Structure 1
Amino acid sequence: MNTLQHSIVSRLPQGYQWSAGFAGSKVEPIPQNGLAGEDNLVGLKLLSHDGEKAWPVMYKLSQALNDIALECCVVECEGEPCLFVNQQDEFAATCRLKNFGVAIAEPFCELPR
Structure 2
Amino acid sequence: MNTLPMSVVHRLPQSYRWAAGLAGGVVEAHTLNTLAAEDDLIGLRLLSHDGANAWEIMQKLRALLAEIQVECTLMEWQGEPCLFVQRSDESAATVRLKNQGVAIAETFIAQPV
Q: How many aligned positions are there? A: 112
| Aligned equivalents of 2:89, 2:52: Cα separation in 1 | 27
Q: Residue 26 of structure 1: CA displacement?
A: 1.3
User: Aligned ranges for residues 1-113 of structure 1 at < 5 Å?
Assistant: 2-4=3-5, 6-113=6-113
> 4+ residue runs of structure 1 moved beyond 4 angstroms?
none
| Aligned equivalents of 1:106, 1:38: Cα separation in 2 | 21
Query: What percent identity do the matched residue pairs reach?
Result: 55
Aligned-partner residue type, residue 23 of structure 1: A
Aligned-partner residue type, residue 40 of structure 2: N
**Structure 1: tracts of 5 or more residues without a match:** none
SS state at 1:61 partner: helix
| Aligned equivalents of 2:108, 2:35: Cα separation in 1 | 26
**Structure 2: tracts of 5 or more residues without a match:** none
SS state at 2:43 partner: strand
Q: TM-score, normalised by structure 1?
A: 0.92
SS state at 1:73 partner: strand
| Aligned equivalents of 1:53, 1:93: Cα separation in 2 | 21
Q: CA RMSD in A?
A: 1.3
Aligned-partner residue type, residue 86 of structure 2: N
